[in-house]
Amino acid sequence: MRRTVRVIVAAMLVFFGILVAALFSIVLFILFSNRPQIDKPVKIGGVFIDSIEDDGWSEIHYEGLSEACKELDLPLEIVEHVDETAEATAPAVAELVSKGCNCFFLTSGGFGNNCRKIIESYPNVFFLPCPPNVTRPMYIPISEESMR
């Protein structure tokens, strides 16, 4: 039992580290890519299939994403209890876009190709499904000033 708990805690710590590193890498990519730029502050949106207090998948994603946003001083907006279908995801993404979110973490694999048309309808928004199973490049062109 103790060994199982240690393994779970170790896995969660590794996951948090990977998530922080991924978010940091994305921000660096955004800052230093040679793509067209827009002056817009980076605001992170999180779309979760369950409550962020589910003692599982959504909670671990939220904790890692929240910690990464704190480390990078980025605002975070979330929507919980979103089904992985395009019909359920579209209003959640629209709500977060209306709040200024321009970098999204879709925290379940079903959001990826199931929501491809939604992702394609926001060409200036960066989407990162977890796991990343969407086939188009997903980036948001921003300027260095927007990170200040």
For 72-119, write each residue's pLDDT tens digit: 899 999 999 999 888 999 999 999 999 999 888 888 877 766 777 888
Contacts of 78 (CB under 8 A, 6+ apart): 45, 46, 47, 48, 52, 62
Decide which of 28 and 47 is more confident: 47
Entry pTM: 0.67
Residue 12 burial by Cβ neighbours in a 10 Å radius (0-12, 13-18, 19+)? middle
Is residue 25 very low, low, confident or very high in pLDDT (cuts 50, 70, 90)? low
Contacts of 98 (CB under 8 A, 6+ apart): none
Q: Where are the alpha helices (DSSP H) in 2-145?
A: 2-32, 57-72, 86-98, 111-114, 116-120
Is residue 137 very low, low, confident or very high in pLDDT (cuts 50, 70, 90)? very low
pLDDT for 142: 42
